[in-house]
Structure 1
Amino acid sequence: MKGGWAEDLALAYLLERGYRLLGRNRRTPFGEVDLFLEKDGVYVLVEVKQRSSGAYGTPLEALTLRKVRRLLQSARYLLGRDDLPVRLEAILVHGTPRAHRIEHLVLEV
């Protein structure tokens, strides 16, 4: 998996900040959820996007409205109900395993 190192990095980053891992690379009928976590009683679905250069755009540009909608559908699917607290987040990784920068976004939906 080419972007596996970025997911590992994102997971370590979030665990250091008090998140608890519930699942990784969870498949749903709407797509795959990179990281499924919980923090302070809120379920958090995290999309990890990585780009080593700007040749194919930025990690943020790879996070499309369609992907955000699918994450929201996946959240409902994984939780089995609509009334639980859910938050969508993105970890954007710029660079390579040796030299990188992390950007952490909370997605407003």
Structure 2
Amino acid sequence: MPIIKILPHPEYCPQGAQVEAPSGTSVCEALLDNGIEIEHACDMSCACTTCHVIVREGFASLNEMDESEEDLLDRAWGLEPNSRLSCQAILAQKDLTVEIPKYSINHAKEKH
């Protein structure tokens, strides 16, 4: 099973984290299943950008982006060439390193 290394984020995982998930799982599902409560305002339906991550290692191993993901990413805060919506990024066999951006476009987060 591939391992996802999550770089430290002040809110979601201050110390950073490492999680294991089966191939075929989205990065968002893998994080949520392992207690990292990344935002996902559209319930992982590719309709927002709140689950945006920057893939620091392993980007090429992920599935290809479709047009709707590409269009949405243009609205993401802190967009970089190796950005993905974690709900659409599907794990293959390779390990990943991801960074959760400091901010998202969600101005009305629950529980805050």
Q: TM-score range by the shorter chain?
A: 0.3 to 0.5
Q: Which structure has the highest strand share of the two?
A: 1
Task: Please give the TM-score of this superposition, normalised by the length of structure 1.
Answer: 0.33
Task: Please give the TM-score of this superposition, normalised by the length of structure 2.
Answer: 0.32
